[in-house]
Amino acid sequence: MNKLQSITVLLFSCLISFSTLAQNDENEFLPKKDDVGVSIVVNGLIDNISLSTNTNSYGQNILFARYYVADDLVLRTGFGLNLNRTAGESADSSGALLIKTDSLRRSFSVNVSAGIEKHLTSNRRLDPYIFSQLDISLIGKTKKEVENRQISTVGTNLTNQEEIRDGGFALGLNLGGGFNYFLAKNFSVGSELYFGIQYVSLGGGITNNTTNTTPSGNRTSTFDSREELSKTTTIRVDPTAQINFSYFF
C-alpha cells in the first residue's frame, strides 16, 4: 500500500468515526426502544404554577404514559377513575317548625385512552411527532338521596327521595402532532395540537321514588320514571394550552 492509499484509508476511517460520534451525540438526549415515559401538566405563570395530570378529550383526568416499541414508534396509554361523593346538610326554622335536610349524591366514570406516535426526523434535542389517539369514557349512573325532616311539637314528618339517572359514554378520536424538547437526557418539555372528533351519549332512564312518613306513622310512596337522553357530536381543533413535562426511563 503506497502513501496515497494509506492517507485515503486514514481519512475514510476518520470520517466514519466522526459520523458515528456525531450520530451518537445527536441522539444522546432522546429515548430509545423499550423506554417508558410519564408526563405531568404544568399550568399557570411563574407566581401561580400548579401541577396536574393529563386529560382526555372528554375533559377527564388520566394517568398518561408512553412506551417506545421502536426508536421512532411509541404507544400512548392513559387510564383514569373518578369517584364522586357529595354530602350536604342544612337546617332552617319557621316558627315552631324545624326543617332539616340531608343529601347525598354519588357518581363515577372510568376513562381509557390508547394511541400511537410516529416520531419524525429529530435533531439533538427537538423531537417532533404525529399521533392518533382513541379516548373512551364510561359514565356510570348518578344516584341522589335526600332526607327531609320537619320537626314540630306533634312529631316528625319524614320525606325520603331517591333519584337515579342513567349514565352513558363518550368516544373521542384525535389526530395531531406535537413535539418534545429535551432539556436534559430523557427529560423533555412539549405540547400538542390536534384535530378531534367526539361523540357523547348521556342519559336514558330517570327514576324517582319518594316516601313520606307522617308523625303518626302512616306511610305513602310514589314512584315515577321518564326518559331523558342527549347525544352530542363535536368536531374541533384544539391546541393544548398547557406545558407537558415528561421523563423517560
Q: Is residue 26 part of a domain?
A: no
The whole-number pLDDT of residue 205 equals 93
Find out whether 109 and 82 touch, Cβ atoms under 8 Å.
Answer: yes
Q: Is residue 129 part of a domain?
A: yes
The whole-number pLDDT of residue 239 equals 57
Q: Is residue 193 part of a domain?
A: yes
Q: Is residue 161 part of a domain?
A: yes
Per-residue pLDDT tens for 205-233? 999 999 999 988 899 999 999 999 999 99
Per-residue pLDDT tens for 13-49? 433 343 343 444 456 788 889 999 998 887 655 556 6
- Structural domain of 203: 31-248
Q: Is residue 15 part of a domain?
A: no
Per-residue pLDDT tens for 104-114? 999 999 999 99
Q: Is residue 16 part of a domain?
A: no
The whole-number pLDDT of residue 170 equals 95
C-alpha cell, 192: 400538542
Cα–Cα distance between 241 and 76 in angstroms, integer? 20
Q: Is residue 145 part of a domain?
A: yes
Cα–Cα distance between 170 and 233 in angstroms, integer? 10
Find out whether 134 and 173 touch, Cβ atoms under 8 Å.
Answer: yes
- Which residues have CB under 8 Å from 230's CB, separation 6+? 200, 201, 202, 203
Cα–Cα distance between 161 and 234 in angstroms, integer? 35
Residue 63 exposed, middle or buried by CB count within 10 Å (0-12, 13-18, 19+) = middle
Based on the structure, what is the number of domains in the chain? 1
Q: Is residue 64 part of a domain?
A: yes
